[in-house]
Amino acid sequence: MPIDAISATTSPTTTPTRAPKQTMDGEVFMSLLVSQLRNQDPSSPMDTNEMIAQTTQLAMMEKITAMTTTSEENFSLQMRMASASLIGKQVSYAGPDGATVTGTATSVSYAGAVPQVTVDGKAVSLDVIAGITAAASGSPASPTSPASPAASGSPASPASSSSL
């Protein structure tokens, strides 16, 4: 009587692989500390001062990480405020050919990491803008000759002062 061969088809079982962490965070630090405590030699236990120093280092690392995040957020907000303040002003930047281009900033986009300022219809990155001047108005004021107080109707003019 012939017997058929039995073939076993086994699919290789793959365990999900985890990508290694590139940075050491508090979770990794604590697991290392717990492993160190579990595997320590009972005849010479870990020095408590050393353990306190390590937990202090962990706390410092977490605070520095939090400060870095806060600093990055602050920088992002500063870029947004700076770009918004450019609207309506004359700005200059180096064009693709290296020549200085001047135009009026009309809008700002916050879609990317660096705000894009629209200058005369062209999107320009905030970090490319090299100069800012006040927008040109109907009559340019001379920066060396201040306006007289009498012309502006300020309280210092004799016409507007009252006698007591």
For 122-161, what is each residue's pLDDT tens digit? 999 999 999 998 766 654 444 443 444 444 444 444 444 4
Residue 14: per-residue pLDDT? 61
**Sorting pLDDT into bands at 50, 70 and 90, what band is 93?**
very high
Under the banding of pLDDT at 50, 70 and 90, the label for residue 86 is very high
Query: What is the spatial distance between Cα 132 and Cα 144, in angstroms, rounded to a whole number?
Result: 19
Span 1-60, pLDDT tens digits: 666 666 555 555 566 666 665 666 678 877 887 888 788 877 777 778 888 888 888 889
- Using the 8-state DSSP alphabet, how is residue 156 labeled? T
Task: Specify whether the CB–CB gap between 124 and 93 falls below 8 A.
Answer: yes
The mean per-residue pLDDT over the stretch 92-112 comes to 92
Please state, in angstroms and rounded to a whole number, the distance separating the CA atoms of residues 57 and 53.
6
d(Cα 68, Cα 154) in Å, to the nearest integer?
Answer: 49
Q: What is the pLDDT of residue 90?
A: 94
Q: Which amino acid is at 133?
A: T
Q: What is the pLDDT of residue 103?
A: 93
Cα–Cα distance for residue pair 25/31, rounded to 1 Å: 10
